[in-house]
Structure 1
Amino acid sequence: MNETIFQSPFEMKRADKKALIIEELKKLTAFHKDHCEPYEQILTKVPFDQEIASMEQMPYLPVQLFKMLDLCSVPKEEVMKTLTSSGTTSQQVSKIYINRETSELQSKALVSIVRDFIGKQRLPMIIIDTKNVIKDRKSFSARGAGIVGFSNFGRNHFYLLDDNMEIDWDGLYAFIEKHKGERIFLFGFTFMIWQYFFKICRDKNIQLPLDNSILIHGGGWKKLSDESVSNEIFKQSLLEQFHIPLVHNYYGMVEQVGSIFMECEHGHFHTPNFADVLIRDFDTLEPVTIEKKGIVQVISILPKSYPGHSLLTEDVGTLHGEDDCPCGRMGKHFTIEGRVPKAEIRGCSDTHAYDQQNGVNV
């Protein structure tokens, strides 16, 4: 894989990117077919043609299969960590097996994407979560994996919430005072930010001087949708309460860590050089045209240790264009409208909300 794809993640134009993605997908599909028996058995029912010339023809897996099958393409002794999707006591979770090569590619990808939005300098960082989420370094939940990944862009990390999911007020005020005049980076999962930070401060009428800060967040939209909180309401609420001028949502999943899709200033998610999306018809699963809703298929050339390179999600999305977003970034740009009706509830931070309601500690 050419390392230059990580240097400027949104500058590769359509023809070059298409050629790269197709070539890498062919290699990955062939490799996983030879090294992951369940995947090989699946492909016997969905024949794979090495000569196919488009992403639309590539075989894909429903993301739910990672909850049902043990999908790993490397010897277990090469697995350095196992990531798990969110789940409840009544749900199975996905298990994603990561070896060193895949981990390094995921890290390079995440670094290239995030630096495009916040710059190369590591910033004082507030993590809107509890440190308990990352205790086990060999087995991460989606929340834990996100925190560890994004922590690389910060310094002097401050975890906002204590073990009881309550704000550490003394620590917060000390952090803000210490870094007065500096740009601050905030990270958290959408529901956690809304429930345990914004709503608490709103109810206590506490405003914070975070006017020189940037917030990146993702996951947990199911709960906020139930409360009729849109992306626009979320941003405006944080601006009014905390004076945060830059808020970027991202779309991603534990089954394709590293290949996140960041939201630009025009409200569009963007595909980087090493990832792509297709939108498929709800009934026929055929690819749909621009501005038509369908099921989102996510594509990544990063997964070397498990067959997660082409996945059909449970999410509804709309493709708005390619290489023509007003922000100037190349690649496809799209939006997400929610989950496919009756799809199993699963999200980076929905788990916490669900378990709190059912009296289960996480």
Structure 2
Amino acid sequence: MISPQDIFTIANQKQFEKIALKVFRFQYENNLVYRDFCNFLKVEKSSVKSLQQIPFLPIQFFKSHEVISSTNPVQETFTSSGTTGMITSKHLVTDVTLYEQSYRNAFSQFYGNIEDYAVLALLPSYLERKGSSLIYMVNDLIQLSNNTNSGFYLHNYDELTSKLIELDSEGQNVLLIGVTYALLDLIEQQNFQLQNTIVIETGGMKGKRKEIIREELHEILCKGFGVSNIHSEYGMTELLSQAYSLGNGIFECPNWMQILIRDTEDALSYVSTGKTGGINVIDLANINSCSFIATQDLGKKYPNNHASRQTGSFEVLGRFDNSDIRGCNLMVI
């Protein structure tokens, strides 16, 4: 049996691979949807000896199937956002403490002690619906900060502006976590010169604005907030872990999460470092669902530039459009 302790104390690549293979075997045996997918690909449990041999479940399965590896009752159901009429993903979580351990440990790994910050959240499109895993995480971080100034803001930009300027000028470390379009709305109302604030964008125009490339977006946000770089969070409904970028759109994973880059022409093979392809995510915290997910995001990996980390960094370059999801048509099983 794999314990949370096994997952969250991974210290090197050898440990990661050993536990990932254990998780693969566990999910093959206990997740009917995943086992059917592996069988469809004619992959037998005993034949998988490396990360590259593990089948990655296309993320669309979370829209059409109950992807679950546990017989325990569901504690939380996280759902993806979507326009009216769209089929949304459902992530059935049987042990929400795994999610809490994952994002708390990751936050600590990248940012230190949460109690050192006031957390201001500008996530209107997420707040206005139920089932957001991002809201669950940020709400918990707000509580853990033990700071009376921490909190959510919906459309009350004037109040947020005043609070942000007040806290920053007092020397309080601030984390401003915002959905992209709302951060742009905020700096159109007020030009900031922030000295003690980290701005984390969670991505997404949510149909409110035209999509723009990351370099242009971050340039606009840096100028508007008066900061030298913009941080980013890479997570999704179907995962229980997040990667973070501390600037320039280059992401690092926590120690129990890794990405592989698959060939866009052949979903079952991989491209070398520096080449663009589809992002496959290994999220070992997701043990009770599926830890091996083929996303619809395009990206590339870079050589490892942190001696303490084994996995290398990565960049997210965009999304497949529907006509490009070759190999994900394996979906229709």
- Bucket of the pairwise TM-score, normalised by the shorter protein: 0.7 to 0.9
Match of 2:132 among 138, 141, 161: 141
Alpha-carbon distance between aligned partners in 1 of 2:323 and 2:106, rounded to the nearest angstrom: 29
Unaligned runs of 5+ in 2: 325-333
TM-score (norm 2): 0.82
Unaligned runs of 5+ in 1: 345-362
Match of 2:84 among 80, 89, 98: 89
Alpha-carbon distance between aligned partners in 1 of 2:197 and 2:235, rounded to the nearest angstrom: 23
Task: Note closer, same or farther for the CA distance 1:282–1:224 as it changes in structure 2 (3 Å cut).
Answer: farther
1:349 alignment counterpart:
none
Verify the 8 A CA contact 1:48 1:59 in the aligned structure 2. Answer: no
Task: Note closer, same or farther for the CA distance 1:4–1:120 as it changes in structure 2 (3 Å cut).
Answer: farther
Alpha-carbon distance between aligned partners in 1 of 2:216 and 2:143, rounded to the nearest angstrom: 29
Counterparts of 1:40-189 in structure 2 under 5 Å? Answer: 40-46=35-41, 47-75=43-71, 78-100=73-95, 103-122=96-115, 123-130=117-124, 133-134=126-127, 140-148=131-139, 150-152=141-143, 154=145, 155=147, 156-161=149-154, 165-167=155-157, 169-170=158-159, 172-174=161-163, 176-177=165-166, 180-189=170-179
Task: Note closer, same or farther for the CA distance 1:303–1:261 as it changes in structure 2 (3 Å cut).
Answer: same
Letter matched to residue 67 of structure 1: K
Verify the 8 A CA contact 2:281 2:294 in the aligned structure 1. Answer: yes
2:244 alignment counterpart:
262
Verify the 8 A CA contact 2:142 2:151 in the aligned structure 1. Answer: no
Which structure has more relative contact order (CA 8 Å, sep 6+)? It is 1
Counterparts of 1:205-216 in structure 2 under 5 Å? Answer: 206-216=190-200
Alpha-carbon distance between aligned partners in 1 of 2:68 and 2:297, rounded to the nearest angstrom: 24
2:23 alignment counterpart:
24
1:296 alignment counterpart:
279
Alpha-carbon distance between aligned partners in 2 of 1:294 and 1:253, rounded to the nearest angstrom: 18
Alpha-carbon distance between aligned partners in 1 of 2:113 and 2:200, rounded to the nearest angstrom: 15
Task: Note closer, same or farther for the CA distance 1:328–1:223 as it changes in structure 2 (3 Å cut).
Answer: farther
Give per-residue Cα distances to partners, 1:51-73, cap 9 Å, x unaligned.
Answer: 42111111221101111123334
Verify the 8 A CA contact 2:12 2:309 in the aligned structure 1. Answer: no
The count of residues paired between Structure 1 and Structure 2 equals 316
Per-residue deviation, 1:128? 1.0
Residues 1:339 and 2:329 are matched in the alignment: no
Match of 2:201 among 217, 220, 238: 217
Verify the 8 A CA contact 2:28 2:34 in the aligned structure 1. Answer: no
TM-score (norm 1): 0.76
Verify the 8 A CA contact 1:126 1:184 in the aligned structure 2. Answer: yes
Verify the 8 A CA contact 1:249 1:263 in the aligned structure 2. Answer: yes
Identity of aligned residues (%): 22
Task: Note closer, same or farther for the CA distance 1:289–1:56 as it changes in structure 2 (3 Å cut).
Answer: same
3-state SS of the aligned residue for 1:253?
coil
Verify the 8 A CA contact 1:143 1:189 in the aligned structure 2. Answer: no
Alpha-carbon distance between aligned partners in 2 of 1:41 and 1:232, rounded to the nearest angstrom: 41
Alpha-carbon distance between aligned partners in 1 of 2:250 and 2:203, rounded to the nearest angstrom: 16
Alpha-carbon distance between aligned partners in 2 of 1:27 and 1:90, rounded to the nearest angstrom: 35
Verify the 8 A CA contact 1:134 1:140 in the aligned structure 2. Answer: no
Alpha-carbon distance between aligned partners in 1 of 2:283 and 2:294, rounded to the nearest angstrom: 12
Structure number having the greater strand percentage: 1
Alpha-carbon distance between aligned partners in 1 of 2:193 and 2:248, rounded to the nearest angstrom: 25
1:282 alignment counterpart:
264
